[in-house]
Amino acid sequence: MSAPRGQFSSNIGFLMAAAGSAVGLGNIWGFPTNVAANGGAAFVLAYLVLAFLLAYPALMAELTIGRHARRNMVQALRGIATGPTSRFFGGLAGFGGIVVASLILSFYAIVAGWMVAHLVGPFASLAGAEGAVEWLTGNSTARNLTFTAIFSGMTMLIIASGVEKGIERWSTLLMPALIVLLLLLIVYVLTQPGAMQGLEAYLMPDFSLFSPQLMVSAMGQAFFSLSLGVGTMLIYGSYLSRQESLPRLGALVTLIDVGIAFTAGLLILPAMYVAQEAGTRIYADSGELIAGPGLILQVLPALFDTMGTAGLFVAIAFFALMVIASLTSSISMLEVPVAFAIENLNVPRRLATPLVGIIIFAISSVIIFNFDALFGLVVSASTEFGQPLLGVALCIFAGWIWRRDQLLAELREGHPGIEHTLFWKIWPWYVRIVCPLLILAAFVQSVM
């Protein structure tokens, strides 16, 4: 059939790749701003609980199915199906995953393109090219197309190199760099005037703000942040060796993801209040903290501007952090359709990558040309509808359709004696009943 499959060379390689997928704009931008918009530590608390009680079990479903099948989501779900009906729905969910992963990448690449442009900006400034700076940090269609293309090209270059030489190598290189940059920025920002007020806004809970809506936002955040539902984690699991304990690796990925989201909050919220201290508006007219693109693209750059030349270097560090976080995530999205093209359509990786990549870039371009009409629509269709519904499907496949003895056999690999652990006593029931019901409840709540 197709060429031999790639595999991660070590569990550290897998960990960096899976954590790299999880840690992205969702952590460094989405999480802190969700916190700011939803009552500070009340949201942090809800998020922590949901990440471990809901997202972790769903992550385990994807990793276990993926490693068992050693195939992409379409073939994996068809493979564990027990009859023609479940085979049909398995294939359908698998295709759904590919479509939703591609849609998520199509808007993610636009946002990541802004980050690349803002990373280049300070260099242009150092070179004295003020006209270029204006173009880079303005918001023109040409700028957006150019930098979405550049970012998509970077993503394709990594994916074209394969699992070990592309995904694993780059994730192992970039993730430590991300952590170092994040910590350096935090140390710098926390020493600036105003920072403590930001810390307070971040960490003082206002429990009166607990609401169903807050729980729904926290769940959406947890699902997006752990890259769930679309087969990303499933495909990474399929490249994992049988010598590793899945529950342990999954727990580590969750911990790293949650840890970095929390740490990013220590940077973003204090930075907003430092910006306020320096004279930048951080509240919108509605009285809420500015949270959307305005936060990253206006409030923080305004802050860097007040810092003089040092600000240029802080800006470089900050946008480098954003680009790195985006890249280790975008490669995991592109791998979903590419793996399908390789395994089901027999296209070699070096050809499949540019083909799929260009189709997704075409979708991004359509969004860029119709930004106001399409951007928000694609974001909510993929993350508020696609992801939760596919997440339910994956839980149903792991919990109801897959034969229990096969599931146990897969988990035992790398974790002998798992049947005597607390994990095995709780998790199978959890993915069976609790996860689908909770996800559906939140879905209904958010749609209504």
What's the sign of the alpha-carbon dihedral 327, 328, 334, 335?
positive
Of 26, 35, 33, 89, nearest to 333 by C-alpha is 26
Asked if 321 and 185 count as a contact pair (C-beta separation under 8 A), the reply is: yes
Q: Which segment (116-124, 191-199, 277-285, 328-336) binds ligand TRP by CB under 6 A?
A: 328-336
Which residues partner with 289 through β-bridges? 283
Q: Which residue in the set 19, 59, 74, 104 belongs to the binding site for ligand TRP (CB under 6 A)?
A: 104
Cβ-based nearer residue to ligand TRP, 275 or 356: 356
For position 97 contacting ligand TRP by CB under 6 A, the verdict is no
Q: Which segment (17-25, 274-282, 353-361, 370-378) binds ligand TRP by CB under 6 A?
A: 17-25
Cβ-based nearer residue to ligand TRP, 275 or 324: 324
Number of residues that bind ligand TRP (CB under 6 A): 16
Minimum CB separation from ligand TRP for residue 326, in Å? 7
Length of the chain as a residue count:
448
Residue carrying structure tokens 């909770």: 438
Q: Which segment (121-129, 133-141, 212-220, 327-335) binds ligand TRP by CB under 6 A?
A: 327-335
For position 329 contacting ligand TRP by CB under 6 A, the verdict is yes
Cβ-based nearer residue to ligand TRP, 234 or 407: 234
Which residues partner with 40 through β-bridges? 205
- Segment 293-312, which members bind ligand TRP (CB under 6 A)? none
Minimum CB separation from ligand TRP for residue 228, in Å? 7
Write phi, then psi, for 283 (nearest 5 degrees): -110, 135
Q: Which helix (H) or strand (E) is 439 found in, with range?
A: helix 435-447
Cβ-based nearer residue to ligand TRP, 27 or 365: 27
For position 58 contacting ligand TRP by CB under 6 A, the verdict is no
Cβ-based nearer residue to ligand TRP, 22 or 201: 22
Q: Which residue in the set 6, 14, 18, 26 belongs to the binding site for ligand TRP (CB under 6 A)?
A: 26
Q: Which residue in the set 8, 21, 124, 314 belongs to the binding site for ligand TRP (CB under 6 A)?
A: 21
Q: What angle do CA 130, 149, 155 make, to 5 degrees?
A: 120
- Segment 186-245, which members bind ligand TRP (CB under 6 A)? 224-225, 227, 230, 232
For position 166 contacting ligand TRP by CB under 6 A, the verdict is no
Of 379, 363, 360, nearest to 156 by C-alpha is 360
| Region label for 192, one of left (φ > 0), alpha (ψ between -120 and 50) or beta (otherwise) | beta
Minimum CB separation from ligand TRP for residue 232, in Å? 4
> 56-69 and 73-80 are packed helices; what angle lies between their axes, rounded to 10 degrees?
80
Of 292, 299, 294, 311, nearest to 270 by C-alpha is 299
For position 24 contacting ligand TRP by CB under 6 A, the verdict is yes
Minimum CB separation from ligand TRP for residue 23, in Å? 6
Residue carrying structure tokens 């994992």: 240
Residue 54 makes CB contacts below 8 A (sequence gap 6+) with 219, 222, 434, 435, 438, 439
How many Cα atoms within 13 Å fall on the side-chain side of residue 354? 2
Q: Which segment (7-15, 110-118, 180-188, 326-334) binds ligand TRP by CB under 6 A?
A: 326-334
For position 27 contacting ligand TRP by CB under 6 A, the verdict is yes
Cα separation, 111 vs 25, in Å, equals 9
CB atoms inside a 10 Å sphere around CB 38: 23
For position 38 contacting ligand TRP by CB under 6 A, the verdict is no
Task: Annotate 146-187 with DSSP letters as a single string.
Answer: HHHHHHHHHHHHHHHT-IIIIIIHHHHHHHHHHHHHHHHHHH
Q: Which segment (16-24, 69-77, 110-118, 246-254) binds ligand TRP by CB under 6 A?
A: 16-24
- Segment 332-361, which members bind ligand TRP (CB under 6 A)? 332-333
Q: Which amino acid is at 155?
A: T
Minimum CB separation from ligand TRP for residue 227, in Å? 3
Q: Which residue in the set 18, 25, 54, 219 belongs to the binding site for ligand TRP (CB under 6 A)?
A: 25
Assigned token pair, 91: 């294939």
Q: Site residues (CB under 6 A) for ligand TRP?
A: 21-22, 24-27, 101, 104, 224-225, 227, 230, 232, 329, 332-333
